[in-house]
Homo-oligomer: A and B are copies of this chain.
Amino acid sequence: MSAEYRSPSEQQRAEARREQILCAAATCFRNHGFHGASIAQISKAAGMSAGHIYHYFDNKEAIIAAIVERDLEYLLTLSAQLRAARDTREAMIEHVTEGVRRSLEPDDAGLKLEVVAEAARNPQVAEIVREADRVCRASLATTLRAIRRADGHDDDDGAIDTMVELLAAMFEGLMIRGIRNPQMDRAAVARRFQATVRQLLTQP
């Protein structure tokens, strides 16, 4: 019965192994797409045999799902950080530059687009993506509401949600822009984004 016991180091090791596979898979998916990347490629990149991957994941789909789930953290952390700032509004505006830079990072963007494209046709992936998005939106909405309240505005929920959508569309759209037009003037775009976000946050 107590055969299920795992020493901490064993658990750690298993976790590290899973992480190793996920990192290798992320690279392969980025370079060849979900269906273009083979288990053989992933196992080679992870430094283990193909068969062994199936000790940690049921199948290829499960690897995709795990990768999607990992990506939830960033925006949540950011949103919490902003709320903790002295002047949340200016902290957010300040952070736009970093957000633009991040969206234009080709590796990040490539994998995220791969995930969204997969979500557009794979219901299982779609569900994970949508749940993650729901959590992110809720967090961003809270931050937005705090900013607007501090400035004396009292928006209804719908208005806040719509602001969230516009912000999300702008930064997610930038991932596509970075691929379609890699020569864009990033600094100028960052300034324009900053101005637009400021207008959005301070409008009556």
B173 touches A158 (CB 8 A): no
B113–A182 CB distance below 8 A: no
Contacts of A174 in B (CB 8 A): 169, 173
With contacts A189-B165, A193-B166 known, is A119 near B179, CB below 8 A? yes
A170 at the interface (CB under 8 A from B): yes
Known: A161-B185, A192-B162, A192-B165. A113 touches B106 (CB 8 A): no
Cβ A180 vs Cβ B33 within 8 A: no
Q: Who on chain B is nearest to A110 by CB?
A: B120
A36 on interface, CB distance cutoff 8 Å: yes
Shortest CB-to-CB span from A68 to chain B, Å, is: 11
* Cβ of A39 under 8 Å from chain B: no
Residues of B within 8 A of A93 (CB): none
Q: Does A35 contact B (CB under 8 A)?
A: yes
A169 to B176, Cβ gap below 8 A? Answer: yes
In the complex, A76 has a CB within 8 A of chain B = no
Asked if A65 lies at the interface with its beta carbon under 8 angstroms from chain B, I say: no
Interface string of A156-191 (1 = CB under 8 A from B): 001101110110111111111101111011001101
Q: How far is the CB of A198 from chain B (nearest CB, A)?
A: 11
- CB neighbours (8 Å) of A193 from chain B are 166
A2 at the interface (CB under 8 A from B): no
A177 touching B181 in the complex, CB below 8 Å, given contacts A34-B33, A162-B192, A192-B162: no
**A–B Cβ pairs within 8 angstroms, 13 of them:** A33-B34, A33-B35, A33-B117, A34-B36, A113-B117, A116-B176, A117-B117, A129-B179, A134-B181, A170-B173, A171-B173, A172-B173, A196-B200
